[in-house]
Amino acid sequence: MSAGRLVGVVLVSHSASVASSVAELAKGLAGGKESALVAAAGGTPDGGLGTSADLIAEAARSVDAGAGVAVLVDLGSAVLTVKAMLAEGDELPHGARLVDAPFVEGAVAAVVTASAGADLDAVEAAAKEAYDYRKV
Amino acid sequence: MLVLDAAFFRRWMAAMAAAVDREAGSLTDLDSAIGDADHGSNLQRGFAAVAAALDKEPPATPGAVLALAGRQLISTVGGASGPLYGTLLRRTGKALGDDAEVTPGRLAAALGAGVDAVAQLGGAKAGDKTMLDALIPAVRALGESSFGAARSAADEGAVATVPMQARKGRASYLGERSIGHQDPGATSSALLIGTLADTAEADA
C-alpha cells in the first residue's frame, strides 16, 4: 500500500439513488468511518436512469488519493462505459480499475477493506470474493 | 480514385446526426419492443453533441474527427450505445492515424479494427442480434467492393436480425420473445453505414 493513503471506491449505477444508497450502506457497515473514500456516480446528469461518463470521471477524481480507485458497476451501459473509459486511458485517474463484483455485497466488502487501509489488489479481491458467498 | 479527408468525415458525421434525428422515433419504437425505449433519443442526443463539437473546433485529420466523435458519444449518450458507438468511432479513428487523407481501403481496414473493438467490449459475436450483425457484413463489403455494397450489406444485416434471439443486453432477458423484432442497434448501424455511402456517393 502507498504510505497510509486509502484506495478510493466509485459506485456506478443506472440510478442515482441506488448508487448513493449503496455508498451510504457500505460506509455505515464499514463502521461509519469518516475517512472512507467512497463516491456515487448514479444515473445521468439530468437525473434520469442511465450512465454518465462525466459523473464517473468526477467521482473517481474525488476519491483518488493516489492509492488507486476501485470502480464497481451494476449492469449494461455502466459496465460498457467504464470499460470504454479505461480503454481510452486518460479519462479516469491512473490506477483506476473496474472490479468484477456483485454491486451491493461487493461495495460493502470493498469499502470495509479499503477503509482498513488495504491496497487495491486486496480491495479488488475482497469485492470479487463476494460472488462466493452463497445465500442458500 | 476517391480520397477521404477530414471534411469528408465531418460531412459523414453531420449526415448521421441528421439521419438519427429523422429516424429517432422509429429507432425508439424498435427499442420499446425489446429494449428500454431510449435508443432513438440517446443517439439523437449523442450525434447532436458530435455535430456541435465538430462545428466548434473542426479537427484537421480523419482520425481526429472520429476520435472526437467517439469521445462525445461516450460522454453524452447515457446508454450502452454510447460506449459501443464511441468505441467503434474512436478505435476506427485511432487506426487511421494522423494522415490527412485516407483511401476507402484504409477506411475499411480501420472500420474492421473498430468493429473488433466493439465485439471485444460487448463480448458479442455475429448472430447475437446486435449492431455487429449489420457492421460485420458491411465492413467486409466495403473492403471487397464499394460503399454502395456496404450499404446494402448493412441493410440486409439489420433485417436478418429479425428472426434471431438476442444474446446480449437487456433484450437477452426476453429470451425467445426477442425473436421477430429487428434489433435497434443493427438498425442504427445500418444508418451509420448508409450515411457513409451517401456521403461518398455525393463526392463521387
Per the document, the length of chain A is 136
Per the document, the length of chain B is 204
Confidence band (pLDDT; 50, 70, 90) for B36? confident
User: Out of 1.10.3720.10, 3.40.1160.10, 3.30.230.10, 1.25.40.340, which CATH number does the structure's domain B4-203 have?
Assistant: 1.25.40.340
Residues of the domain holding A73: 11-131
- Chain A nearest-CA distance from B147, in A, is 28
A49 inside domain: yes
pLDDT of A4 over the 80 cut: no
d(CA B76, CA A108): 30
Q: Answer for the pair B40, B27: CB distance below 8 angstroms, yes or no.
A: yes
B80 touches chain A (CB under 8 A): yes
Q: What is the pLDDT of residue A33?
A: 66
Average pLDDT over all residues of chain B: 95
Domains: count for chain A:
1
pLDDT of A2 over the 90 cut: no
Inter-chain touch A88–B169, beta carbons under 8 Å? no
pLDDT of A60 over the 70 cut: yes
**Model pLDDT for residues B128-142, shown as the tens digit of each residue:** 999 999 999 999 999
Write the single-letter amino acid at A64. D
Domain spans, chain B: 4-203
Q: Answer for the pair B135, B151: CB distance below 8 angstroms, yes or no.
A: no
Residue with cell 480503454: A87
Task: Give me the mean pLDDT over the B110-130 stretch.
Answer: 96
Instruction: Find the closest chain B residue to A56 by CA distance.
Output: B75
**Model pLDDT for residues B171-195, shown as the tens digit of each residue:** 888 889 999 999 999 999 999 999 9
**Which of A47-61, A85-99, B43-57 is least confident?**
A85-99
pLDDT of A1 over the 80 cut: no
Nearest to B89 by CA among B52, B44, B135: B135
